[in-house]
Structure 1
Amino acid sequence: MNETMFEKFFNHRDYLIVQYKEGNITKSEYVQYNVDYINKNKIKPFDIIDIYEKGMYNYQYYNMMAKYYFMQGKMLMNNEDDEKYSKSFIEEGHYYYRLKDKSTLNLLKLLKFKNVEAYYIKLNSKNLMGKLYEIYLKDYDKAILHSQNFRLLDTLKRNKVFIEGYRKSVIDDYVNVKY
């Protein structure tokens, strides 16, 4: 059977999700293995999001790259000699998060905000509480997005898909674990 590029990408992601849920890999390893897959397969994001799969693909690509660079930056933070590298990695992470949010907005526009729910999530992190929100695409399997972007939040509210209050994340066992 010939798998499409999307099927390969999402099957690999699903495999890693199962490995994480079963305790076979850590959250850091989950991120690292996703980035290794991206690099090995020379994956690049799409310029135009005209189908759901491209939007989710871009979201995952940018999200994993952002998490990876933040993870690298945090590992170097405690070493004074590596402080400039740490800052560089963290800036790169912010860059990918901005692209992720732009891609998220493009995906939501493509979907016309239909069957979308967004809400703040309950977190163990006091720093992220009231900042991080979840976007649940109810028509799709495993379509859970996250952001802290205020512009995107305003757009969700204007489109009447943001629900006030806090909810437990659909993937609580992932979002409440540090890497």
Structure 2
Amino acid sequence: MASATSVFDFKPLNKKGEPAPLSAYAGKVLLIVNTASKCGFTPQYGGLEALYQKIEASHPGEFVVLGFPCNQFGGQEPAADDQIQEFCQINYGVSFPIFGKTEVNGDNADPLWEYIKSEKPGLMGMKRVKWNFEKFLISRDGKVVERWASTKKPETLEGDVLKEIAKKAAEPVKSEL
């Protein structure tokens, strides 16, 4: 989507395979994460849920985690969308949105992921996601402000998220007409 100006311009597929406009989250700070159920980093679901709940308690309605299951890294997300939802709920009590299985790299990469990777390249300008549980912090106005590797634990992100929440969304430019 070459004309995109923010993550809110995208409509990735939800757990039912239907387009889910991210514009529904406009004005909120987002943490977008590619996830997997059979990865060494899978316990981060628990950390992501704890972060989400903690910030929701202190700043209701201002922050949301968005999980995007991906099977591109070692085949570590082989389940169907409904099984992924069940796994996340039963094992980690996940209450934040988990989207449909998504490709984050390659020719079939979801346009949202192409956008966020180009807006915030990784180490040495790398524009691909390296592994499961990479994290992207999105501002209230839909801009990519930070990117973290899989090894960055969700519990260490609270300060960065709160700093972003403290910022006000950019005011729309008013026309003089």
TM-score above 0.5, yes or no: no
Per the normalisation by structure 1, the TM-score is: 0.24
Per the normalisation by structure 2, the TM-score is: 0.24
Task: Decide which structure has greater helix share.
Answer: 1
More contact order relative to length (CA 8 Å, sep ≥ 6): 2
Say which one has the larger Rg.
1
